[in-house]
C-alpha cells in the first residue's frame, strides 16, 4: 500500500500543473459525497 502511494506521489510530482490541481479540487467533493460500500469486493484491503 505504501509503494502504491509513493508511485502516485511521484506521478503527481512529474505531472504537476495548475490544471491538474483544479481537476483534483473539483473531483474531491464528488468523491467525498459519493456513497461507498466499505464491504464491497472492490474495497481496498490492507
Task: For residue range 4-44, list pLDDT tens digits in order.
Answer: 999 999 999 999 999 999 999 999 998 888 887 666 655 55
Instruction: List CB contacts of 36: < 8 A, sequence separation 6 or more.
Output: 43
pTM of the model: 0.58
What's the pLDDT score for residue 3?
A: 96
The span from the CA of 5 to the CA of 13, in Å, is 12
What's the pLDDT score for residue 35?
A: 84
What's the pLDDT score for residue 43?
A: 54
What's the pLDDT score for residue 42?
A: 58
Amino acid at each position: 500500500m505504501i509503494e502504491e502511494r509513493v508511485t502516485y506521489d511521484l506521478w503527481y510530482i512529474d505531472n504537476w500543473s495548475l490544471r491538474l490541481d483544479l481537476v483534483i479540487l473539483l473531483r474531491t467533493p464528488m468523491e467525498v459525497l459519493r456513497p461507498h460500500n466499505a464491504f464491497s469486493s472492490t474495497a481496498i484491503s490492507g
